[in-house]
Structure formats: structure tokens, C-alpha cells
Amino acid sequence: MAFGSGPNCSQQFIDLGCGTGDFTRQELLPRCQPCGVIVAIDVSPRMVKYAKENFAHPQIAYEVHDIESDVSGLLKKYGKFERVYSFFALNWAEDLGAALRNVAALMTDDGECLLVFPARIAFFVVWRKIVELDRWKPYKGVSTYNEHLVKF
């Protein structure tokens, strides 16, 4: 990763969609040194609870937050961020436009972001075709991905 400037102790970063916190703690934090704090957010209270219990660190603040919703509370609590990271989380956003507007709102004027998400997943193309088949139409919309997540 190449950013305009290196991190320093006065900067704070945010990780969108931190999940269990393992990547934030084991991969992202070591690569962001020195830094003040990484705020790691996830929409799932269970994921954030797990992250706090298993991947706590003095430089990481785990928070429950949906990046598609109002970010004024985050801004009031933490201010703006010099860097915004998201690794394979934004592909779950139902309203990607709202999520990206919030990313922009969270960044300082000279802030940088690294957003990694698949632009297209072949599996979903196939899945969409399958659910349109007569045999599977009755089940379309029966469940959401949330019902199939591993429970911590």
C-alpha cells in the first residue's frame, strides 16, 4: 500500500466492517504504526463483542455501527479520520452510495482511503439466474445472508 504520507502518532484511522477483529489486530494495526487509534466498526453486535473479547488492543476502539447509517455520532466522538480502510465489507452494503458518502464524510480533507471489495462476483450472477428458474421462484427472498452467518 502506498499512501501520500506515512502514519504518525497524532493520526487516527477507521476500519469499516472489522468483523471478528482478527484482521484489524493482526494485520492492519502493525502496518499502521505509529498511529493514535484505529476505530474498528461493524454492523454486527456479536462480531464487535467477539472482537473486543479476543482481539483487544489499547490502540483499537471497537464500535457497533452500520456504515450506511448516519455517521454524525462517530464524528462527534472521534472527529475525522486520516485514513479509511475497508476489506471485503462494502460488498454487503445494500446502499453503496450512502456508504461511500459516509466514507467521504469521515475523512479529513487530505484523508486517504483503501476500499477493497469485489466489483462483481460470479457466484452472485449464477445465483440470480438460479432464483429466476421456475423451480426456485417460490423461495426467492425467503432468507437473507444474516441468517447464515456463524454465531459467536
Q: What is the pLDDT of residues 64-116, one digit of tens each?
A: 999 999 999 999 999 999 999 999 998 888 898 999 999 999 999 999 999 99
Residues 104 and 100: their CA atoms lie apart, in Å, by 6
The total number of structural domains in the chain stands at 1
Residue 113 domain boundaries: 12-120
- Distance, in Å, from the CA atom of 100 to the CA atom of 90, rounded to the nearest integer, reads 9
| pLDDT, tens digit (0-9, with 9 covering 90-100), for 115-132 | 997 766 666 677 777 777
pLDDT in tens, 5-56: 778 888 999 999 999 999 999 999 999 999 999 999 999 999 999 999 999 9
Note whether residue 3 is domain-resident.
no
Bond prior to 45 in cis (omega within 30° of 0): no
Q: Is the pTM of this model over 0.85?
A: no
- Residue 51 is assigned to a structural domain of this protein: yes
Q: Cα dihedral angle (92, 27, 105, 58), rounded to 10 degrees? A: 120
The verdict on whether omega for the bond into residue 34 sits within 30 degrees of 0, i.e. cis, is yes
Residue 56 lies in a domain: yes
- Rounded Cα–Cα distance for residues 50 and 18 (Å): 11
CATH of the domain at 80: 3.40.50.150
152 within some domain: no
